Structure 1
Protein backbone atom coordinates (compact mmCIF):
# COMPACT_ATOMS: atom_id res chain seq x y z
CA UNK A 1 0.00 0.00 0.00
CA UNK A 2 2.80 2.44 0.92
CA UNK A 3 4.69 1.72 -2.30
CA UNK A 4 1.53 2.26 -4.36
CA UNK A 5 0.87 5.64 -2.72
CA UNK A 6 4.50 6.75 -3.12
CA UNK A 7 4.29 6.03 -6.85
CA UNK A 8 1.94 9.02 -7.26
CA UNK A 9 3.35 12.42 -8.25
CA UNK A 10 4.14 14.03 -4.90
CA UNK A 11 3.52 17.71 -4.33
CA UNK A 12 6.30 19.86 -2.90
CA UNK A 13 5.95 22.93 -0.75
CA UNK A 14 7.34 26.23 -2.01
CA UNK A 15 7.26 29.74 -0.63
CA UNK A 16 4.25 31.84 -1.56
CA UNK A 17 4.12 35.62 -1.88
CA UNK A 18 1.67 37.92 -0.12
CA UNK A 19 1.51 41.66 0.37
CA UNK A 20 2.00 43.42 3.67
CA UNK A 21 -1.39 43.44 5.32
CA UNK A 22 -0.74 46.56 7.37
CA UNK A 23 -0.06 48.65 4.25
CA UNK A 24 -3.26 47.43 2.64
CA UNK A 25 -5.14 48.08 5.87
CA UNK A 26 -4.01 51.70 5.74
CA UNK A 27 -5.54 51.98 2.26
CA UNK A 28 -9.07 51.15 3.42
CA UNK A 29 -9.80 54.67 4.78
CA UNK A 30 -8.81 56.09 1.38
CA UNK A 31 -11.77 54.43 -0.34
CA UNK A 32 -14.08 56.11 2.18
CA UNK A 33 -12.30 59.45 2.42
CA UNK A 34 -12.04 60.21 -1.32
CA UNK A 35 -15.79 60.21 -2.14
CA UNK A 36 -16.54 61.91 1.19
CA UNK A 37 -14.13 64.76 0.45
CA UNK A 38 -15.49 64.94 -3.08
CA UNK A 39 -18.98 65.67 -1.87
CA UNK A 40 -17.91 67.80 1.08
CA UNK A 41 -15.98 70.06 -1.28
CA UNK A 42 -19.21 70.73 -3.18
CA UNK A 43 -18.07 69.05 -6.37
CA UNK A 44 -20.95 66.58 -6.38
CA UNK A 45 -23.73 68.96 -7.45
CA UNK A 46 -21.43 70.66 -9.96
CA UNK A 47 -20.24 67.53 -11.76
CA UNK A 48 -23.48 65.62 -11.29
CA UNK A 49 -23.95 61.88 -11.48
CA UNK A 50 -21.57 61.51 -14.42
CA UNK A 51 -18.55 61.64 -12.05
CA UNK A 52 -20.08 61.19 -8.62
CA UNK A 53 -21.88 57.90 -9.20
CA UNK A 54 -18.89 56.09 -10.83
CA UNK A 55 -16.66 57.39 -8.03
CA UNK A 56 -18.96 55.93 -5.40
CA UNK A 57 -19.11 52.59 -7.23
CA UNK A 58 -15.33 52.40 -7.64
CA UNK A 59 -14.77 53.28 -3.99
CA UNK A 60 -17.23 50.64 -2.83
CA UNK A 61 -15.74 47.96 -5.09
CA UNK A 62 -12.21 48.85 -4.01
CA UNK A 63 -13.21 48.77 -0.35
CA UNK A 64 -14.74 45.30 -0.73
CA UNK A 65 -11.82 43.92 -2.77
CA UNK A 66 -9.28 45.07 -0.21
CA UNK A 67 -11.36 43.95 2.77
CA UNK A 68 -11.76 40.31 1.69
CA UNK A 69 -8.07 39.82 0.87
CA UNK A 70 -6.76 39.94 4.43
CA UNK A 71 -5.62 36.88 6.35
CA UNK A 72 -3.69 36.48 9.58
CA UNK A 73 -1.07 33.85 10.42
CA UNK A 74 -0.24 32.96 14.00
CA UNK A 75 3.10 31.47 15.06
CA UNK A 76 3.55 27.90 13.80
CA UNK A 77 0.77 28.24 11.28
CA UNK A 78 0.85 28.35 7.48
CA UNK A 79 -1.55 29.33 4.70
CA UNK A 80 -1.65 27.42 1.42
CA UNK A 81 -2.47 29.69 -1.53
CA UNK A 82 -4.23 28.51 -4.69
CA UNK A 83 -5.27 30.41 -7.79
CA UNK A 84 -8.11 28.83 -9.77
CA UNK A 85 -7.08 25.39 -8.52
CA UNK A 86 -3.34 25.88 -9.07
CA UNK A 87 -0.96 25.76 -6.12
CA UNK A 88 0.78 29.12 -5.75
CA UNK A 89 2.88 28.57 -2.64
CA UNK A 90 2.70 28.55 1.16
CA UNK A 91 3.04 31.55 3.44
CA UNK A 92 4.59 30.71 6.81
CA UNK A 93 5.54 34.17 8.13
CA UNK A 94 3.28 35.17 11.00
CA UNK A 95 1.43 38.46 10.94
CA UNK A 96 -1.20 40.23 8.80
CA UNK A 97 -1.04 39.53 5.05
CA UNK A 98 -3.06 40.41 1.97
CA UNK A 99 -3.64 38.73 -1.41
CA UNK A 100 -6.11 39.30 -4.20
CA UNK A 101 -9.61 38.07 -3.34
CA UNK A 102 -9.61 35.39 -6.05
CA UNK A 103 -6.77 33.54 -4.29
CA UNK A 104 -7.88 30.52 -2.29
CA UNK A 105 -6.53 30.42 1.26
CA UNK A 106 -6.35 27.31 3.48
CA UNK A 107 -4.80 27.43 6.91
CA UNK A 108 -2.66 24.50 8.06
CA UNK A 109 -1.28 24.12 11.56
CA UNK A 110 2.40 23.13 11.64
CA UNK A 111 2.40 22.78 15.40
CA UNK A 112 3.09 19.51 17.17
CA UNK A 113 0.00 17.31 17.52
CA UNK A 114 -0.40 14.65 20.19
CA UNK A 115 -2.55 11.57 19.58
CA UNK A 116 -3.28 8.73 21.96
CA UNK A 117 -4.48 5.80 19.90
CA UNK A 118 -7.31 3.50 20.81
CA UNK A 119 -6.52 0.06 22.20
CA UNK A 120 -6.31 -2.42 19.36
CA UNK A 121 -6.34 -6.20 19.62
CA UNK A 122 -3.67 -7.97 17.58
CA UNK A 123 -1.72 -11.23 17.56
CA UNK A 124 1.95 -11.10 18.47
CA UNK A 125 4.68 -13.05 16.70
CA UNK A 126 3.65 -16.31 18.43
CA UNK A 127 -0.04 -15.82 17.73
CA UNK A 128 -1.02 -14.77 21.25
CA UNK A 129 -3.83 -12.17 21.30
CA UNK A 130 -2.74 -8.96 22.99
CA UNK A 131 -4.09 -5.44 23.50
CA UNK A 132 -1.82 -2.57 22.57
CA UNK A 133 -2.00 1.23 22.33
CA UNK A 134 0.48 4.03 21.68
CA UNK A 135 1.03 7.77 21.92
CA UNK A 136 2.31 9.66 18.87
CA UNK A 137 3.61 13.23 18.48
CA UNK A 138 3.46 14.40 14.86
CA UNK A 139 3.54 17.62 12.84
CA UNK A 140 3.05 18.78 9.28
CA UNK A 141 6.42 19.14 7.54
CA UNK A 142 5.19 19.75 3.96
CA UNK A 143 1.93 21.67 3.71
CA UNK A 144 1.53 21.02 -0.02
CA UNK A 145 1.60 17.24 0.46
CA UNK A 146 -0.73 17.43 3.46
CA UNK A 147 -3.34 19.46 1.55
CA UNK A 148 -3.10 18.08 -2.00
CA UNK A 149 -1.76 14.50 -1.77
CA UNK A 150 -4.28 13.10 0.72
CA UNK A 151 -7.96 13.84 1.17
CA UNK A 152 -7.96 14.50 4.93
CA UNK A 153 -4.48 14.41 6.41
CA UNK A 154 -5.68 14.26 10.04
CA UNK A 155 -7.88 11.23 9.38
CA UNK A 156 -5.06 9.74 7.32
CA UNK A 157 -2.73 10.07 10.32
CA UNK A 158 -5.20 8.33 12.64
CA UNK A 159 -5.65 5.38 10.29
CA UNK A 160 -1.95 4.97 9.58
CA UNK A 161 -1.09 5.07 13.30
CA UNK A 162 -3.35 2.10 13.91
CA UNK A 163 -1.96 0.26 10.86
CA UNK A 164 1.65 0.92 11.90
CA UNK A 165 0.92 -0.18 15.46
CA UNK A 166 -0.52 -3.47 14.19
CA UNK A 167 2.51 -4.03 11.96
CA UNK A 168 5.12 -3.42 14.67
CA UNK A 169 3.16 -5.34 17.31
CA UNK A 170 2.98 -8.46 15.16
CA UNK A 171 6.75 -8.52 14.56
CA UNK A 172 7.72 -9.48 18.10
CA UNK A 173 6.43 -11.75 20.87
CA UNK A 174 4.82 -10.26 23.93
CA UNK A 175 7.31 -11.94 26.25
CA UNK A 176 10.34 -14.21 25.99
CA UNK A 177 9.27 -17.79 26.70
CA UNK A 178 12.60 -19.31 25.72
CA UNK A 179 16.19 -18.94 26.83
CA UNK A 180 17.09 -16.98 23.70
CA UNK A 181 17.71 -13.26 24.03
CA UNK A 182 15.24 -11.77 21.57
CA UNK A 183 13.35 -8.53 21.17
CA UNK A 184 10.01 -8.57 22.98
CA UNK A 185 7.23 -6.04 23.28
CA UNK A 186 7.38 -6.08 27.09
CA UNK A 187 11.12 -6.19 27.61
CA UNK A 188 12.48 -4.14 24.70
CA UNK A 189 10.50 -0.92 24.92
CA UNK A 190 13.14 1.38 23.41
CA UNK A 191 13.71 -0.91 20.42
CA UNK A 192 9.98 -1.25 19.76
CA UNK A 193 9.45 2.51 20.06
CA UNK A 194 12.21 3.20 17.52
CA UNK A 195 10.69 0.69 15.12
CA UNK A 196 7.30 2.35 15.55
CA UNK A 197 8.74 5.78 14.72
CA UNK A 198 10.43 4.46 11.58
CA UNK A 199 7.29 2.60 10.48
CA UNK A 200 5.03 5.63 10.96
CA UNK A 201 7.41 8.01 9.20
CA UNK A 202 7.48 5.70 6.18
CA UNK A 203 3.69 5.49 6.10
CA UNK A 204 3.07 9.21 6.64
CA UNK A 205 5.77 10.49 4.31
CA UNK A 206 3.27 10.62 1.44
CA UNK A 207 1.18 13.13 3.42
CA UNK A 208 4.13 15.36 4.38
CA UNK A 209 3.84 14.32 8.04
CA UNK A 210 6.82 13.82 10.37
CA UNK A 211 6.59 11.75 13.56
CA UNK A 212 8.83 13.12 16.31
CA UNK A 213 7.95 10.71 19.13
CA UNK A 214 6.06 7.45 19.46
CA UNK A 215 5.80 4.97 22.30
CA UNK A 216 3.62 2.21 23.66
CA UNK A 217 1.26 3.31 26.42
CA UNK A 218 -0.68 0.09 26.95
CA UNK A 219 0.41 -3.51 26.56
CA UNK A 220 -1.42 -6.51 27.98
CA UNK A 221 -2.62 -9.97 27.08
CA UNK A 222 -6.18 -10.19 25.82
CA UNK A 223 -8.71 -11.06 28.57
CA UNK A 224 -9.32 -14.58 27.24
CA UNK A 225 -5.72 -15.66 27.89
CA UNK A 226 -4.71 -13.22 30.62
CA UNK A 227 -5.38 -15.73 33.43
CA UNK A 228 -3.31 -18.50 31.86
CA UNK A 229 -0.44 -16.14 31.10
CA UNK A 230 -0.52 -14.80 34.66
CA UNK A 231 -0.09 -18.32 36.02
CA UNK A 232 2.80 -18.86 33.64
CA UNK A 233 4.47 -15.66 34.81
CA UNK A 234 3.99 -16.71 38.44
CA UNK A 235 5.54 -20.09 37.67
CA UNK A 236 8.50 -18.38 36.00
CA UNK A 237 8.96 -16.18 39.05
CA UNK A 238 8.90 -19.19 41.39
CA UNK A 239 11.42 -21.05 39.24
CA UNK A 240 13.73 -18.04 39.10
CA UNK A 241 13.55 -17.61 42.88
CA UNK A 242 14.21 -21.32 43.48
CA UNK A 243 17.15 -21.23 41.11
CA UNK A 244 18.70 -18.34 42.97
CA UNK A 245 18.19 -20.08 46.33
CA UNK A 246 19.80 -23.30 45.09
CA UNK A 247 22.79 -21.49 43.61
CA UNK A 248 23.31 -19.65 46.87
CA UNK A 249 22.96 -22.86 48.92
CA UNK A 250 25.52 -24.69 46.79
CA UNK A 251 27.97 -21.85 47.28
CA UNK A 252 27.44 -21.90 51.04
CA UNK A 253 27.92 -25.68 51.21
CA UNK A 254 31.15 -25.44 49.21
CA UNK A 255 32.47 -22.75 51.55
CA UNK A 256 31.51 -24.79 54.61
CA UNK A 257 33.25 -27.94 53.41
CA UNK A 258 36.33 -26.02 52.37
CA UNK A 259 36.48 -24.24 55.73
CA UNK A 260 36.10 -27.46 57.70
CA UNK A 261 38.81 -29.12 55.65
CA UNK A 262 41.28 -26.22 55.75
CA UNK A 263 40.91 -25.69 59.50
CA UNK A 264 41.17 -29.40 60.25
CA UNK A 265 37.99 -29.41 62.30
CA UNK A 266 36.83 -32.80 61.11
CA UNK A 267 37.86 -35.36 58.53
CA UNK A 268 35.00 -36.65 56.38
CA UNK A 269 35.04 -39.39 53.81
CA UNK A 270 33.07 -39.12 50.58
CA UNK A 271 30.00 -40.84 52.02
CA UNK A 272 29.83 -38.52 55.03
CA UNK A 273 30.47 -35.49 52.83
CA UNK A 274 27.52 -36.50 50.68
CA UNK A 275 25.32 -36.88 53.74
CA UNK A 276 26.42 -33.54 55.08
CA UNK A 277 25.78 -31.86 51.73
CA UNK A 278 22.33 -33.42 51.59
CA UNK A 279 21.48 -32.22 55.09
CA UNK A 280 22.76 -28.70 54.43
CA UNK A 281 20.84 -28.45 51.15
CA UNK A 282 17.65 -29.52 52.88
CA UNK A 283 18.16 -26.91 55.59
CA UNK A 284 19.08 -24.09 53.20
CA UNK A 285 16.54 -24.81 50.47
CA UNK A 286 13.57 -25.89 52.55
CA UNK A 287 10.45 -23.79 52.78
CA UNK A 288 10.17 -24.37 56.52
CA UNK A 289 12.64 -24.11 59.38
CA UNK A 290 14.57 -27.34 59.98
CA UNK A 291 14.14 -29.13 63.29
CA UNK A 292 17.56 -30.00 64.79
CA UNK A 293 18.33 -33.54 65.85
CA UNK A 294 21.01 -34.06 68.50
CA UNK A 295 23.34 -36.94 67.74
CA UNK A 296 24.38 -38.50 71.07
CA UNK A 297 26.62 -41.13 69.49
CA UNK A 298 29.55 -40.94 67.17
CA UNK A 299 29.69 -39.27 63.79
CA UNK A 300 29.12 -42.65 62.10
CA UNK A 301 26.08 -43.67 64.13
Structure 2
Protein backbone atom coordinates (compact mmCIF):
# COMPACT_ATOMS: atom_id res chain seq x y z
CA UNK A 1 0.00 0.00 0.00
CA UNK A 2 1.48 3.40 -0.95
CA UNK A 3 2.17 5.99 1.73
CA UNK A 4 -0.64 8.42 2.61
CA UNK A 5 -0.05 12.10 1.97
CA UNK A 6 -2.76 13.10 4.46
CA UNK A 7 -2.51 10.88 7.54
CA UNK A 8 -5.19 11.27 10.17
CA UNK A 9 -4.44 12.37 13.71
CA UNK A 10 -4.82 8.76 14.85
CA UNK A 11 -2.28 7.55 12.27
CA UNK A 12 0.12 10.34 13.23
CA UNK A 13 -0.23 9.44 16.91
CA UNK A 14 0.65 5.81 16.21
CA UNK A 15 3.76 6.95 14.37
CA UNK A 16 4.69 9.34 17.18
CA UNK A 17 4.45 6.57 19.78
CA UNK A 18 6.65 4.29 17.66
CA UNK A 19 9.21 7.08 17.41
CA UNK A 20 9.14 7.49 21.19
CA UNK A 21 9.79 3.76 21.65
CA UNK A 22 12.71 3.91 19.23
CA UNK A 23 14.22 6.94 20.96
CA UNK A 24 13.79 5.33 24.39
CA UNK A 25 15.73 2.37 23.03
CA UNK A 26 18.56 4.75 22.06
CA UNK A 27 18.30 3.93 18.36
CA UNK A 28 18.56 6.25 15.38
CA UNK A 29 16.14 5.74 12.51
CA UNK A 30 19.03 4.33 10.46
CA UNK A 31 20.00 1.85 13.17
CA UNK A 32 16.38 0.79 13.67
CA UNK A 33 15.93 0.26 9.95
CA UNK A 34 18.98 -2.01 9.85
CA UNK A 35 17.67 -4.13 12.73
CA UNK A 36 14.20 -4.38 11.22
CA UNK A 37 15.29 -5.02 7.66
CA UNK A 38 13.74 -1.81 6.38
CA UNK A 39 14.98 1.36 4.72
CA UNK A 40 15.51 4.46 6.79
CA UNK A 41 12.91 6.23 4.66
CA UNK A 42 10.33 3.58 5.57
CA UNK A 43 10.98 4.14 9.27
CA UNK A 44 10.52 7.88 8.77
CA UNK A 45 7.27 7.37 6.83
CA UNK A 46 5.88 5.00 9.47
CA UNK A 47 6.76 7.42 12.28
CA UNK A 48 5.07 10.26 10.38
CA UNK A 49 1.89 8.19 10.11
CA UNK A 50 2.11 8.10 6.34
CA UNK A 51 2.70 4.37 5.98
CA UNK A 52 0.29 1.73 7.38
CA UNK A 53 1.70 -1.06 9.51
CA UNK A 54 0.21 -4.34 10.70
CA UNK A 55 -0.29 -5.43 14.30
CA UNK A 56 2.40 -8.09 13.81
CA UNK A 57 4.88 -5.45 12.66
CA UNK A 58 4.06 -3.29 15.69
CA UNK A 59 4.96 -6.24 17.93
CA UNK A 60 8.17 -6.75 15.98
CA UNK A 61 9.05 -3.08 16.48
CA UNK A 62 8.29 -3.40 20.22
CA UNK A 63 10.53 -6.46 20.59
CA UNK A 64 13.33 -4.75 18.67
CA UNK A 65 12.99 -1.68 20.89
CA UNK A 66 12.84 -3.83 24.08
CA UNK A 67 9.51 -2.32 25.13
CA UNK A 68 8.34 -4.10 28.32
CA UNK A 69 4.85 -2.52 28.41
CA UNK A 70 2.50 -5.17 27.01
CA UNK A 71 -0.60 -3.02 27.51
CA UNK A 72 0.90 -0.20 25.48
CA UNK A 73 1.99 -2.60 22.73
CA UNK A 74 -1.51 -4.12 22.59
CA UNK A 75 -3.05 -0.64 22.37
CA UNK A 76 -0.70 0.36 19.55
CA UNK A 77 -1.41 -2.88 17.71
CA UNK A 78 -5.14 -2.09 17.88
CA UNK A 79 -4.47 1.21 16.07
CA UNK A 80 -2.90 -0.44 13.02
CA UNK A 81 -4.08 -1.11 9.49
CA UNK A 82 -5.33 1.19 6.77
CA UNK A 83 -7.56 4.11 7.55
CA UNK A 84 -11.09 2.90 8.20
CA UNK A 85 -13.89 5.20 7.12
CA UNK A 86 -16.15 6.53 9.83
CA UNK A 87 -19.25 8.69 9.70
CA UNK A 88 -17.01 11.75 10.10
CA UNK A 89 -15.48 11.17 6.65
CA UNK A 90 -18.74 12.35 5.09
CA UNK A 91 -17.84 15.85 6.29
CA UNK A 92 -14.21 15.82 5.18
CA UNK A 93 -14.83 18.14 2.20
CA UNK A 94 -16.92 20.57 4.24
CA UNK A 95 -15.10 21.01 7.57
CA UNK A 96 -11.56 21.66 8.81
CA UNK A 97 -9.37 18.58 9.16
CA UNK A 98 -8.97 19.17 12.91
CA UNK A 99 -12.72 18.74 13.45
CA UNK A 100 -12.70 15.47 11.51
CA UNK A 101 -9.78 14.26 13.62
CA UNK A 102 -11.64 15.28 16.79
CA UNK A 103 -14.66 13.12 15.93
CA UNK A 104 -12.43 10.10 15.27
CA UNK A 105 -10.60 10.74 18.54
CA UNK A 106 -13.88 10.96 20.46
CA UNK A 107 -15.05 7.71 18.84
CA UNK A 108 -12.09 5.86 20.38
CA UNK A 109 -12.02 7.69 23.73
CA UNK A 110 -12.40 5.60 26.89
CA UNK A 111 -13.22 8.49 29.24
CA UNK A 112 -14.01 12.19 28.81
CA UNK A 113 -13.07 14.96 31.23
CA UNK A 114 -13.95 18.48 30.06
CA UNK A 115 -13.92 21.93 31.63
CA UNK A 116 -15.38 25.19 30.29
CA UNK A 117 -15.99 28.66 31.70
CA UNK A 118 -18.00 30.59 29.12
CA UNK A 119 -19.56 27.87 26.96
CA UNK A 120 -21.57 24.70 27.42
CA UNK A 121 -19.55 21.66 26.23
CA UNK A 122 -20.17 20.91 22.56
CA UNK A 123 -21.37 17.37 23.26
CA UNK A 124 -24.00 18.73 25.68
CA UNK A 125 -25.39 21.54 23.52
CA UNK A 126 -28.87 21.69 22.03
CA UNK A 127 -29.24 22.38 18.32
CA UNK A 128 -30.59 25.90 18.93
CA UNK A 129 -27.82 26.74 21.38
CA UNK A 130 -25.16 25.54 18.92
CA UNK A 131 -26.81 27.47 16.08
CA UNK A 132 -26.66 30.68 18.13
CA UNK A 133 -22.93 30.14 18.72
CA UNK A 134 -22.20 29.47 15.05
CA UNK A 135 -24.09 32.62 14.03
CA UNK A 136 -21.82 34.68 16.28
CA UNK A 137 -18.45 33.51 14.91
CA UNK A 138 -16.03 35.83 13.14
CA UNK A 139 -15.83 35.90 10.18
CA UNK A 140 -19.52 35.05 9.77
CA UNK A 141 -20.48 31.70 8.29
CA UNK A 142 -22.85 31.23 5.38
CA UNK A 143 -26.07 29.43 6.18
CA UNK A 144 -25.01 26.18 4.52
CA UNK A 145 -21.78 26.24 6.57
CA UNK A 146 -23.80 26.62 9.76
CA UNK A 147 -25.97 23.66 8.79
CA UNK A 148 -22.90 21.50 8.11
CA UNK A 149 -21.49 22.42 11.52
CA UNK A 150 -24.82 21.75 13.22
CA UNK A 151 -25.41 18.31 11.74
CA UNK A 152 -21.80 17.40 12.45
CA UNK A 153 -21.99 18.52 16.09
CA UNK A 154 -25.23 16.66 16.69
CA UNK A 155 -23.72 13.54 15.10
CA UNK A 156 -20.72 13.82 17.42
CA UNK A 157 -23.06 13.73 20.41
CA UNK A 158 -24.10 10.16 19.58
CA UNK A 159 -20.89 8.99 21.25
CA UNK A 160 -22.58 9.74 24.60
CA UNK A 161 -25.64 7.65 23.79
CA UNK A 162 -24.21 4.39 22.49
CA UNK A 163 -24.96 1.05 24.12
CA UNK A 164 -21.84 1.36 26.30
CA UNK A 165 -20.91 5.05 26.37
CA UNK A 166 -17.58 6.18 27.77
CA UNK A 167 -17.91 8.01 31.11
CA UNK A 168 -18.25 11.75 30.55
CA UNK A 169 -17.45 14.27 33.30
CA UNK A 170 -17.95 17.99 32.66
CA UNK A 171 -16.97 20.84 34.95
CA UNK A 172 -18.79 24.04 33.94
CA UNK A 173 -18.49 27.47 35.48
CA UNK A 174 -21.74 29.13 36.53
CA UNK A 175 -21.10 31.92 34.03
CA UNK A 176 -21.62 29.44 31.16
CA UNK A 177 -25.09 28.69 32.53
CA UNK A 178 -26.04 32.36 32.56
CA UNK A 179 -24.69 33.57 29.20
CA UNK A 180 -28.10 33.38 27.54
CA UNK A 181 -26.93 32.51 24.03
CA UNK A 182 -29.86 32.52 21.61
CA UNK A 183 -32.24 34.32 23.96
CA UNK A 184 -34.38 33.23 26.95
CA UNK A 185 -36.21 30.34 25.25
CA UNK A 186 -33.03 28.79 23.84
CA UNK A 187 -31.18 29.31 27.12
CA UNK A 188 -33.98 27.75 29.16
CA UNK A 189 -34.15 24.74 26.85
CA UNK A 190 -30.38 24.31 27.10
CA UNK A 191 -30.49 24.28 30.89
CA UNK A 192 -33.30 21.71 30.91
CA UNK A 193 -31.23 19.62 28.50
CA UNK A 194 -28.29 19.71 30.91
CA UNK A 195 -30.53 18.57 33.74
CA UNK A 196 -31.81 15.64 31.68
CA UNK A 197 -28.30 14.63 30.63
CA UNK A 198 -27.00 14.87 34.20
CA UNK A 199 -29.43 12.12 35.19
CA UNK A 200 -27.81 9.62 32.80
CA UNK A 201 -25.50 7.19 34.63
CA UNK A 202 -22.55 7.81 32.30
CA UNK A 203 -22.66 11.63 32.50
CA UNK A 204 -21.53 13.74 35.47
CA UNK A 205 -21.95 17.52 35.43
CA UNK A 206 -20.40 19.70 38.13
CA UNK A 207 -20.74 23.47 38.39
CA UNK A 208 -18.19 25.91 39.78
CA UNK A 209 -20.32 28.63 41.43
CA UNK A 210 -19.45 32.32 41.30
CA UNK A 211 -18.66 32.30 45.01
CA UNK A 212 -15.84 29.81 44.57
CA UNK A 213 -13.47 32.59 43.52
CA UNK A 214 -10.19 31.88 41.74
CA UNK A 215 -9.65 28.68 39.80
CA UNK A 216 -6.70 27.28 37.82
CA UNK A 217 -6.28 27.82 34.10
CA UNK A 218 -7.12 30.80 31.92
CA UNK A 219 -10.73 29.96 31.20
CA UNK A 220 -9.79 28.12 28.03
CA UNK A 221 -11.94 25.08 27.31
CA UNK A 222 -10.18 21.78 27.97
CA UNK A 223 -11.11 18.31 26.73
CA UNK A 224 -9.11 15.45 28.23
CA UNK A 225 -9.69 12.33 26.16
CA UNK A 226 -8.44 9.11 27.72
CA UNK A 227 -6.98 6.41 25.55
CA UNK A 228 -6.79 2.67 26.28
CA UNK A 229 -3.55 3.34 28.23
CA UNK A 230 -2.43 6.62 29.83
CA UNK A 231 0.36 7.09 27.27
CA UNK A 232 -2.31 7.46 24.57
CA UNK A 233 -4.33 10.17 26.32
CA UNK A 234 -4.89 13.42 24.41
CA UNK A 235 -5.78 16.97 25.43
CA UNK A 236 -7.83 19.02 22.98
CA UNK A 237 -7.93 22.80 23.36
CA UNK A 238 -10.21 25.19 21.48
CA UNK A 239 -8.38 28.17 20.00
CA UNK A 240 -9.35 31.02 17.68
CA UNK A 241 -7.62 29.09 14.90
CA UNK A 242 -9.28 25.73 15.54
CA UNK A 243 -8.52 22.61 17.58
CA UNK A 244 -5.12 22.08 19.15
CA UNK A 245 -4.10 18.57 20.23
CA UNK A 246 -1.50 17.89 22.93
CA UNK A 247 -0.01 14.55 23.90
CA UNK A 248 3.38 15.17 25.54
CA UNK A 249 3.50 13.62 29.01
CA UNK A 250 4.28 16.97 30.69
CA UNK A 251 1.25 18.54 28.98
CA UNK A 252 -1.01 15.65 29.93
CA UNK A 253 0.15 15.83 33.55
CA UNK A 254 -0.45 19.58 33.64
CA UNK A 255 -4.03 19.32 32.44
CA UNK A 256 -4.81 16.38 34.70
CA UNK A 257 -3.80 18.61 37.61
CA UNK A 258 -5.87 21.52 36.27
CA UNK A 259 -8.93 19.31 35.92
CA UNK A 260 -8.41 17.78 39.37
CA UNK A 261 -8.38 21.25 40.93
CA UNK A 262 -11.37 22.45 38.94
CA UNK A 263 -13.39 19.41 39.95
CA UNK A 264 -12.30 19.86 43.58
CA UNK A 265 -13.62 23.43 43.54
CA UNK A 266 -16.95 22.49 41.96
CA UNK A 267 -20.21 21.58 43.62
CA UNK A 268 -21.24 17.95 43.88
CA UNK A 269 -23.21 16.53 40.97
CA UNK A 270 -26.44 16.75 42.99
CA UNK A 271 -25.82 20.32 44.17
CA UNK A 272 -24.87 21.26 40.62
CA UNK A 273 -28.16 19.88 39.31
CA UNK A 274 -30.02 21.89 41.94
CA UNK A 275 -28.19 25.07 40.89
CA UNK A 276 -29.01 24.48 37.22
CA UNK A 277 -32.67 24.00 38.24
CA UNK A 278 -32.56 27.25 40.17
CA UNK A 279 -31.06 29.21 37.29
CA UNK A 280 -33.54 27.72 34.80
CA UNK A 281 -36.46 29.02 36.89
CA UNK A 282 -35.12 32.58 36.99
CA UNK A 283 -36.63 35.07 34.53
TM > 0.5 fold call: no
- Which structure ranks higher in relative contact order (CA pairs < 8 Å, sequence separation ≥ 6)? 2
Larger Rg: 1
Name whichever structure is richer in strand by fraction: 1
Name whichever structure is richer in helix by fraction: 2
- TM-score, normalised on structure 2? 0.21
- TM-score, normalised on structure 1? 0.20
